[in-house]
Structure 1
Amino acid sequence: MPTSLLVLLGPTASGKTALAVDLAKRLDGEIISADSRQIYKGLDIGTGKDLLEYGDVPYHLIDHHTLGDHYSVAHFQKEAYDAIQDVLGRGKQPILCGGTGLYIEALLANYSFSHVPHFLDKPITLDLTYRVFGLNPELGIRRARISDRFQARLAAGLIEEVEGLLAQGAAEADFIRLGLEYKWIVQYLRGEISRERFEEGLEVAIHQFAKRQMTYFRKMEKAGISISWIPDTLDFQGKSDFVLKNI
């Protein structure tokens, strides 16, 4: 029976989901998302949920909140902790996968808060061993993947997805609060920026976001969370094997 947590992190477009799914199949595991935006229903294209990619692999903390719900790091910490305990309790391997460094660190470092949130009786302590693996594609590869994926999401209906949610009553302020794609789309739909400015500016913003993600992961390492970086020279199967050999 599994007694530890497997963590897979990396910047956007690094291939985390596909690798996590492969590892879950090989380890009889379940995936727990550590993504601050995939928690919301309806934000499918922009957040890259890629739910079909999971196949029959169970996943947690995706589509379990409505846009506009109050959600904090403390909420994630509690929900991720509960999901991990649930997965372990059924004899499965929990795999925490995502790119929201603050969420991952809050769980692994047992963040405590100045005031215990109203939904907790006491602070959460993850009394569990864990092993963290990271994906970090070479900069040129990462940039190409981000650009290709961005164009693919536009073609898949990213803007139309937001238009539809706004028509159903979603608040512009909630999209702006999410940042990146959603903030830029609202500005475009308001007529505040041109289509050209929207596409060029947003693509640059996503590249900058990926850089900030890596900066945060390096900060986590300096704070004492060890990350085993998977060699980017390995092919997909090699990366999966690397994790299994080093758990």
Structure 2
Amino acid sequence: MPNYDLIAILGPTASGKTPFATALAATLHTEIISADSRQIYRGMDLGTGKDLDDYTVNGQQIPYHLIDIADPGYKYNVFEYQRDFLTAYETIKQRSLLPIVCGGTGLYLESVLKGYRLMPVPENPELRQRLETKSLEELTKTLEQYKTLHNSTDVDTVKRAIRAIEIEEYYKLNPVPEREFPALNSLIIGVDIDRELRREKITRRLKQRLDEGMIDEVRRLLAEGIAADDLIYYGLEYKYLTLYVIGKITYEEMFNGLEVAIHQFAKRQMTWFRGMERRGFTIHWVDALWPMEEKIAFVTTKLREV
């Protein structure tokens, strides 16, 4: 076990990676660092699928990090994630524990597993003003001049596309300086789920969260003063539910559009993880249908192989 610095549990939405990670954490008596770009926001619970009940295993509370650390409306970024991940990682290591990072945000995971050298990118008001009248299609073409788009997350909304261009333009003009980031020897475990089963679980979970009050959650956030555009910026549930609440689309349009968007998102997540393998990461896959005991045994065996 001491030869590994970190265990990473990744997988698409609805694959069951969080219950797996918490059960493993309970077995290893350790703590979890979240790698979810939206679960960092306070009060955004149902729409981000926090499922905090999963962090209680057989009556044992599993400590977690990087959930509920920012206010809704704030534009948290991957540079901040690296910084906050390191703080959590070092805190856990000081307790002589083997941290587990778990999530489905591929960029966040890759940024810490590979140790990207990043720096904060300030806003560029002049560039934003120049781009604000452009269509999403035009912005996408502009962004493609800077880099190959491996997924459509950066061009999900006009605001996201403008921010992505702003970042690329800054990096073009300002070479990234060396930044200390530890080289982590990570055991990476992927949760693979059959596509049809994944689709079924996504639809069932969407209906469940709507029944639990996901629309009321969005209404509350808007009532608290979060701008509709800021919620739409977060995409998926918050995009479609906000459009419904402010009267831009019908309930049926919201449900059908959101269901399709989540399916597409899960597909993009798997595309990212397969891309990680092509970029040199070794991911050991477990089947989502394996019993929990079998999944945990698989990981503990891998830890002993070192």
Q: Please indicate the TM-score interval, normalised by the length of the shorter structure.
A: over 0.9
Shift of 1:233: 4.7
**Paired positions, count:** 244
- What amino acid is the match of 1:25? A
SS of equivalent residue, structure 2 residue 294:
helix
Question: Which of 66, 81, 87 is the aligned partner of 2:86?
Answer: 81
CA distance in 2, matches of 1:186, 1:11: 24
Q: 2:37 maps to what in 1? A: 36
Does the Cα contact within 8 Å between 1:230 and 1:243 map onto a contact in 2? no
Match of 1:91 among 92, 96, 106: 96
Matched with 1:64 is 69
How many angstroms apart in 1 are the aligned matches of 2:221 and 2:66?
A: 20
Separation in 2, partners of 1:232, 1:179: 26
Higher radius of gyration, 1 or 2: 2
Residues 1:111 and 2:103 aligned together: no
Structure 2: state its 5+ residue gaps.
Answer: 123-176
Change (3 A) 1:116 1:50: closer
Q: Is the 8 A contact 1:116 1:123 kept in 2?
A: no
Match of 1:189 among 223, 226, 245: 245
- Choose 189-198 or 94-103, whichever is displaced more: 189-198
Alpha carbons 1:108, 1:126 under 8 Å: kept = no
Partner of 2:151: none
Q: Aligned equivalents of 2:51 and 2:211: distance in 1? A: 15
Aligned positions of 1:178-217 closer than 5 A: 178-217=234-273
Alpha-carbon shift at residue 232 of structure 1 (Å)? 3.9
Q: CA deviation at 1:173?
A: 1.6
For the residues of structure 1 that align with 2:121 and 2:30, how far apart are their CA atoms? 30
Question: What TM-score does the superposition give when structure 1 sets the normalisation length?
Answer: 0.94
Q: Pairwise mapping of residues 131-170 of structure 1 onto structure 2 (< 5 A)?
A: 131-170=187-226
Deviation of the 1:41 alpha carbon: 0.2
Cα distance, 1:106 vs. partner? Answer: 0.7
Shift in alpha-carbon separation, 1:18–1:165, aligned structure 2, 3 A: same
- What SS is found at the alignment partner of 2:99? strand
- 1:177-210 CA-to-partner distances (Å, cap 9, x unmatched) read 1000000011111211111111111101100000
Q: Secondary structure at the match of 2:211?
A: helix
Give the alignment's TM-score, normalised by structure 2: 0.76
CA distance in 1 between counterparts of 2:44 and 2:89 reads 24
The one-letter amino acid of 1:112's match is R
AA aligned to 2:78 is V
- Counterpart AA for 2:235: G
Q: How far apart are 1:242 and its partner, in Å?
A: 1.2
Compute the displacement of 1:220 (Å). Answer: 0.8
Residues 94-118 of structure 1 deviation map (CA, whole Å, 9 limit, x = unaligned) = 00000000000011111113x5679
**Contact 1:7–1:95 (8 Å) recurs in 2:** yes
DSSP-derived class of the 1:132 partner: strand
CA contact (8 A) 1:78 1:124 kept: no
Change over 3 Å in CA distance of 1:91–1:117 after alignment to 2: farther
Q: Deviations over 1:154-186 (max 9, x none)?
A: 000000001011111111121111000000011
CA distance in 2, matches of 1:233, 1:71: 34
The amino acid of 1:126's aligned partner reads P
* Unmatched 5+ stretches in structure 1: none
1:63-101 C-alpha deviation (Å, 9 max, x unpaired): 011112231111101111121111011112200000000
Post-superposition Cα deviations, 1:135-161, rounded to whole Å, max 9, x if no partner, equal 010011111110110000000000000
